[in-house]
Amino acid sequence: MTGPHRAPRPAPPDSAQRSRSYAIAGHAFEAPALAPGLHLVATPIGNLRDISLRALETLAGADTIACEDSRVTRKLIDHYAIATPLTPYHEHNAAAARPKLLARLTAGARIALVSDAGTPLISDPGYKLVRAAREAGLAVSAVPGASAALMGLTVAGLPTDRFFFEGFLPPRAAARRERIAALKPIPATLVLFETGPRLAATLADLAALLGPREAAIGRELTKLYEEVRRGTLEALAAAYAGAPAPRGEIVMVVAPPGERAPTSEADLDALLRDALERASVKDAVEEVATIAGRARRDVYQRALALKRESPDGAAD
């Protein structure tokens, strides 16, 4: 099987003679001729099968793949038997590497740019290379695909008509709180990235500064141990407080201001179970009634019912 027949383009002077093919489940496919220029290629955020045929053709047909970490990208191209050489391009070497890549592009090279995972230019220095290529009159195209930010947004169950991508908040507490305060009035769902060791502190700050908004935490999305936890910021902050730092990549999604958290029976039970694991019935009822906006007597009756259903069956 081959791609569409196109007139072959002359290879740039520094292009090595090698196979421009890829393999899927042991079956080899020849990549069609690739136009000279910079090609931005989205790669999987975890599951290696989340890649498009066009992305494979582009990676196989390129003269080189500019990547953040060659060890990460190597796993992907080895999986699909792609022999394209890799060259590093990341925040620490971008200033020195960018002129060299631009020189190759000017000479007619076909260069694919990828990030470690997902869509290039999202939380990486790729935009500077794209801007420089555009200013030099060089061709730039994109092969769309996976995005951790968009996947986190779509599985969160929060409004998607308007969202604001923040990326990583500052690691230092004072700067983080200042930035959260600036995000508070934005009339859109917030999408953020965070590391496991900082998640609890960030959730505590979000809960304190943004109030009782609904939120979702997506961890290891598309991977074997994918997990999505939903609840109010207060409930999520309490759940992660004092717990071991979660492992893996994390996407945080927070509802816009004025978006009231749901108070269905299932939501109420989830909030109560979490609160009852770390507090007395009285304290759990007080917390959940405030968060959910429900009458304390109703929340108390449901808390007693859940305690009776629990293994110990005792109410304190």
State the chain's maximal CA–CA distance in angstroms: 79
Q: What was the pLDDT predicted at 308?
A: 85
Q: What was the pLDDT predicted at 260?
A: 57
Within a domain: 171? yes
Burial of 240 (0-12, 13-18, 19+ CB in 10 A): buried
Q: Are 118 and 152 in contact (CB under 8 A)?
A: no
Chain mean pLDDT for the chain = 89
Domain end among 80, 108, 143: 143
Q: Which range is least confidently modeled, 3-7, 132-136, 170-174, 264-268? A: 3-7
Top-confidence range, 118-122, 180-184, 211-215, 270-274: 180-184
Q: Is the pTM of this model over 0.85?
A: no
Within a domain: 4? no
What Å distances lie between residue 63 and 24, 182, 221, 227, 298, CA to CA? 21, 44, 31, 38, 66
Say which CATH number the domain at 183 has.
3.30.950.10
Within a domain: 162? yes
Q: What was the pLDDT predicted at 287?
A: 79
Per DSSP bridges, beta strands 27-30 and 21-24 are: antiparallel
Are residues 48 and 134 located together in one domain of the fold?
yes
Q: Which range of residues forms the domain containing residue 213?
A: 153-254
The residue with greater pLDDT, 219 or 260, is 219
Domain end among 217, 235, 254: 254
Are residues 133 and 226 located together in one domain of the fold?
no
For range 154-163, the mean pLDDT: 93
Token pair 């009634």 is found at 289
Confidence of residue 16 (pLDDT cuts 50, 70, 90): low
Are residues 164 and 97 located together in one domain of the fold?
no
Q: Are 115 and 91 in contact (CB under 8 A)?
A: no
DSSP 33: P
Q: Are 217 and 229 in contact (CB under 8 A)?
A: yes
List pLDDT tens digits, range 124-155. 779 999 999 999 999 999 999 999 999 999 99
Q: Give the residue among 43, 18, 44, 40 at the shortest CA–CA distance from 31.
A: 18
Q: How far apart are CA 134 and CA 130, in angstroms?
A: 6
Q: Is the pLDDT of residue 13 over 50?
A: no
Are residues 32 and 103 located together in one domain of the fold?
yes
- What's the structural domain count of the chain? 3
